[in-house]
Amino acid sequence: MTDHISRSHRRPLTLTPSHSAGARQHHPADHRYESPRPDLIRPDLPNAVRLERARTRHYSALRKPTLAVAATLAVLLPLAGLAAPAQAVTGGMVRTATASAGTTGVPTGTTLKVHNGDLNITKAGTVISGLDIRGLVKINAINVTIKNSIIRGRSVSAPAALVNNLGGRSGLKIIDSELYPSKPSPDINGIYGYNFTLTRVDIHGVIDGVHVTGSNVTIANSWLHGNLHYTSDPNQGGKPSHDDSIQIQKGSNIKVYGSTLSGSHNAGVQITQDTGDVSSFSFTGNFADGGACTINVAQKSYGPIYGAVVTDNKFGRNTKVANCAIISPSTTKISTARNYYTPDSKTVTVHAG
């Protein structure tokens, strides 16, 4: 499956070295980084990608008026006998999944300072802003904020994440940032852990974008796309990669809203219950596509998942299993409403799995 607006190929950066004052970036592509993409099956369209990013950045300035127009259309379209399936009404305001190149990642004009090496954050309340991090980030303190930054990682020889919060340090927030590895590898993932919130984050070029190992995770208005995929992955015994936009091993109070998920080969959301119960999972107001089935629920030995809500979403049809937006065992009862396929607006039903 092709992710037509992936930013996986970029021209070299214009960056502030760690020893100098630096200059402003004058184009949203300036903070991107070209790196090799081994064994990938997706085409390289850098010129089209850059043009798309410039276009979406330009129109992103109109986001607030767009909400007002969407609210008006939500009223007028039904009167005309038409449907507006992508819209979720929350608190009187229409929310749509608009996460893309123009609304996620480092804001245009941000000056980035290079940080070479890993970051081990041990001070509570630390705020990281405006960094281009050429290493891995490990969270060992509460209430850490990372914003307006890129995390690129480094070469790894074992499974690792660009951001590691496996210790579940509470209050972690990543805002207006990008997670994209400069050294592609079957071992590299986006973020591992729990007790974190992602807001307007762009994650791409990794195996799993978000790997949830516990409770209290929110993914808001973010763009998870262009997964790294190997036809022969050593972590899968030489079989193809099991790349997911989001994988959930266990946890409660997990929310995904206003986000765009595309470009995964295994699943957009894979609930595995590998290590414990999953409950109170909500997926609302998103666009999601890809995978064998886009949302795949596996109970395993932990039994049914309680409190699962999947409502007000658009689903693409680029799945290996035809018409498989959601697959779940019949013993897990998912609250579903106003989920539609695009472009034909047909209602999504749950496949029994």
Element housing 71 (H / E): helix 63-79
What single DSSP character describes residue 16?
A: B
Contact present, 199 and 236 (Cβ < 8 Å): no
Give the per-residue pLDDT at 97. Answer: 61
The span from the CA of 49 to the CA of 287, in Å, is: 20
Nearest to 15 by CA among 151, 102, 115: 115
The span from the CA of 169 to the CA of 195, in Å, is: 6
Give the per-residue pLDDT at 45. Answer: 37
The span from the CA of 119 to the CA of 141, in Å, is: 12
226-230 contacts at long range (C-beta below 8 A, 24 or more positions apart): 226/3, 226/6, 226/7, 226/8, 226/42, 226/262, 226/263, 227/263, 227/264, 227/265, 228/37, 228/40, 228/181, 228/184, 228/185, 228/186, 228/188, 229/40, 229/41, 229/42, 229/265, 230/38, 230/39, 230/186
Give the per-residue pLDDT at 353. Answer: 83
Residues of the chain with pLDDT under 50: 1-96
Global pTM value: 0.75
* Domain-embedded: residue 10: no
* Domain count for the chain: 1
- Structural domain that includes position 292: 28-61+97-352
Element housing 66 (H / E): helix 63-79
Give the per-residue pLDDT at 220. Answer: 98
Question: With the C-alpha atoms ordered 31, 35, 40, 46, is the resulting torsion angle positive or negative?
Answer: positive
Phi, psi of 240 (to 5 degrees): -60, 155
231-285 pLDDT tens trace: 999 999 999 999 999 999 999 999 999 999 999 999 999 999 999 999 999 999 9
- CB 270: neighbour CB atoms within 10 A? 25
Beta-carbon-side half-sphere exposure of residue 337 (alpha carbons within 13 Å):
4
Type of residue found at 45: L
Nearest to 279 by CA among 249, 311, 252: 252
- Residue identified by tokens 């307007």 is 200
The span from the CA of 206 to the CA of 204, in Å, is: 6
293-341 pLDDT tens trace: 999 999 999 999 999 999 999 999 999 999 999 999 999 999 999 999 9
Give the per-residue pLDDT at 12. Answer: 35
